[in-house]
Amino acid sequence: MQIDAQPFTFTCPLEKTALVLIDMQRDFIEPGGFGETLGNNVALLEAIVPATQAVLKAWRAAGGLVVHTREAHRADLSDCPPAKRNRGNPKLRIGDVGPMGRILVAGEPGNQIIAALAPEPGEIVIDKPGKGAFYATGLQEMLRKNGISHLIFGGVTTEVCVQTSMREANDRGYDCLLLEDCTESYFPHFKQAAIEMIRAQGGIVGWTAPSAALHHALQAQ
């Protein structure tokens, strides 16, 4: 499968490629969640849901492997260091009770993936205590078990958990593509900078492309 991308064509065999959707959680995307309590405009993140949903539907129809991640901590916060919990001196911290339950705690309502992108049976769901999808998770082993060598990314936020996960993947030998209209930041200029960094110097971290390019490649497959 060949996808029209920058800095050049991204080539990936469908059977060895996974779609990875990063942290499309209620607490980050929906009004009243953690993201909004930090003073962010969650409408920016909500705007990518239709394009992401269309990609997920097409990828499932093609039989591709799907991976969902959630930023999630244990109820006792033993996997959340103070340096993370206290960062930025927010009014509500990780583990505190917010409008959707305890913030970024596994199993709480706000920690769940939004309904429009809810995982289906058989899809991989990773709860990660850090920003990257590979840190302190079993993702590497799951991908190896499924024979995956290429990753297509979407999710939030571009410059934090998405870019961190792509850099982790790059260091582990995966070829990675970011879907530009299926990722977003609370700060649009951060998204643009992250996209430029990812594809700089001949794709130092990976490739980027609009989701239309993936749809076209799937139709041609």
Structure tokens at 134: 């590979």
Q: Is 139 helix (H, G, I), strand (E, B) or coil?
A: helix
What whole-number distance in Å separates Cα of residue 181 and Cα of residue 178?
9
Q: Give yes or no: 131 in active site.
A: no
CA distances from 69 to 51, 167, 189, 204 (A): 18, 16, 24, 24
The residue from 161, 176, 182, 191 that is catalytic is 161
CA 218 from centroid of its chain's CA atoms: 21
Count of beta carbons in the 10 Å neighbourhood of residue 126: 19
Q: Is 101 helix (H, G, I), strand (E, B) or coil?
A: strand
The residue from 23, 27, 131, 176 that is catalytic is 23
Q: Give yes or no: 128 in active site.
A: yes
What whole-number distance in Å separates Cα of residue 102 and Cα of residue 77?
11
- Going by C-alpha positions, the residue among 19, 3, 40, 61 that lies closest to residue 154 is 19
The residue from 27, 80, 128, 175 that is catalytic is 128
Amino acid letter, residue 52: T
Q: Give yes or no: 191 in active site.
A: no
Catalytic residues: 23, 128, 161
